[in-house]
């Protein structure tokens, strides 16, 4: 089958990207489906996989891809054959519960990521547990592939972790990335006032065209005073961040008393410092969030299926042009999701 592989670990990742036509077709195991890929989408995770992740043994050549939509071709043992022929959307986060131990309360389940810990969806066919698929009917597969991981991540950050409600004010950093744009669309759906930041005037202008209420240019200095200015000096109820260390102190100074900072990533680096006196004096919450479970996935996917929230697609590429797509992602020039059309 056709597939996009990362042949070796290194930076820049694009130099190791290869389009191949000689990979074996996958076979469904018990509880699994083989899906014929219609579209798959890139995430920043694809770059981390290419650069190498601490503590994770990635075997190269590696097929990445944690976002995809396609049609089920076959099923393994114990899977209802009614799945065959249905268009599905993938949730790449496969829960890995702890084994039960006497006297020990299990922690929340860890996850294994399709496309990170094993072969992913940047291929003509991929395998996934049936429990990690949602049937999506006639939804456009390019939009579906662009929707999954980022909207699930943003939905969990906003609802399950921050408890964001309509009428509140939310700060979204680094607008232009997939999670940030997903958060903007979802926040508007929930009826929140939105403030976005970026180092690019062009990206801020595009965010305004998508309905962002306020836009703040990040000049590499503290922008919290400007954020507080547009809120009447009150501050924001919630900050949704995937940028990381360099902006943490600015974000915390932007929060209202009792505000919540939620992080799902550190694209600009993980090391940060903060004023703990501000945290306890203003009763701030700092929360981490990763992906989401199938209940959350079905909730947010229903918004796509009903046409209530749509993803922002930066560009669509043929699989054989994979290097062009990876180069765009690695340059951070994209505004929205970069998608491969496998049809």
Claim: this prediction has a pTM higher than 0.75: yes
Residue 246 is given by DSSP the state G
Domains and CATH numbers, the chain: 3-138+312-341 (3.90.180.10), 151-288 (3.40.50.720)
The percentage of the chain sitting over the pLDDT mark of 90, rounded to a whole number, equals: 85
- pLDDT band of 81, cuts 50, 70, 90: very high
In angstroms, what CA-CA distances link 202 with 146, 199, 206? Answer: 21, 9, 6
pLDDT in tens, 271-305: 888 889 999 999 999 999 998 999 999 999 999 99
The pLDDT of residue 266 = 80
**Which segment of 96-100, 246-250, 330-334 scores lowest on mean pLDDT?**
96-100
pLDDT in tens, 204-252: 999 999 999 999 999 988 999 999 999 999 999 999 999 888 889 999 9
**Residue 338, beta-bridge partner list:** 315
In angstroms, what CA-CA distances link 289 with 1, 286, 292, 301? Answer: 35, 10, 8, 19
């Amino acid at each position: 089958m056709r597939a996009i592989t990362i042949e070796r670990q290194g930076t820049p990742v694009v130099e190791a990207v290869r389009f191949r036509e000689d990979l074996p077709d996958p076979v469904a195991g018990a509880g699994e489906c083989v899906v014929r890929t219609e579209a798959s989408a890139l995430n920043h995770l694809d770059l981390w996989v290419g650069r190498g992740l601490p503590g994770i043994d990635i075997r190269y050549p590696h097929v990445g891809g944690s976002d995809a939509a396609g049609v089920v071709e076959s099923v393994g043992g114990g899977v209802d054959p009614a799945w065959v022929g249905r268009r599905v959307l993938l949730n790449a986060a496969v829960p890995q519960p702890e084994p039960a131990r006497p006297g020990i309360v299990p922690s929340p389940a860890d996850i294994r990521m399709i496309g990170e810990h094993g072969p992913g969806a940047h291929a003509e066919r991929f395998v996934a547990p049936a429990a990690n698929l949602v049937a999506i009917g006639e939804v456009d597969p390019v939009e579906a592939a662009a929707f999954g991981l980022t909207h699930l991540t943003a939905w969990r950050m906003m609802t399950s972790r921050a408890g964001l409600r309509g009428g509140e004010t939310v700060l979204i950093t680094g607008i232009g990335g997939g999670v940030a744009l997903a958060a903007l669309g979802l926040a508007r759906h929930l009826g929140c006032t939105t403030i976005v930041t970026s180092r690019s005037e062009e990206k801020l202008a595009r965010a305004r065209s998508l309905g962002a209420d306020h836009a703040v240019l990040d000049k590499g200095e503290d922008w919290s005073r400007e954020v507080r200015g547009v809120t009447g000096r009150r501050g924001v109820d919630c900050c949704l961040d995937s940028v990381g260390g360099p902006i943490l102190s600015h974000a915390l100074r932007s929060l209202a008393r009792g505000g919540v900072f939620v992080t799902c990533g550190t694209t600009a680096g993980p090391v940060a410092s903060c004023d703990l006196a501000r945290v306890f004096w203003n009763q701030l919450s700092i929360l981490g969030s990763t992906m989401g479970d199938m209940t959350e996935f079905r909730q947010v996917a229903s918004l796509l299926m009903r046409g209530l929230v749509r993803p922002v697609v930066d560009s669509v590429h043929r699989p054989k042009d994979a290097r062009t797509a990876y180069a765009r992602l690695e340059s951070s020039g994209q505004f929205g999701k970069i998608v491969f059309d496998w049809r």
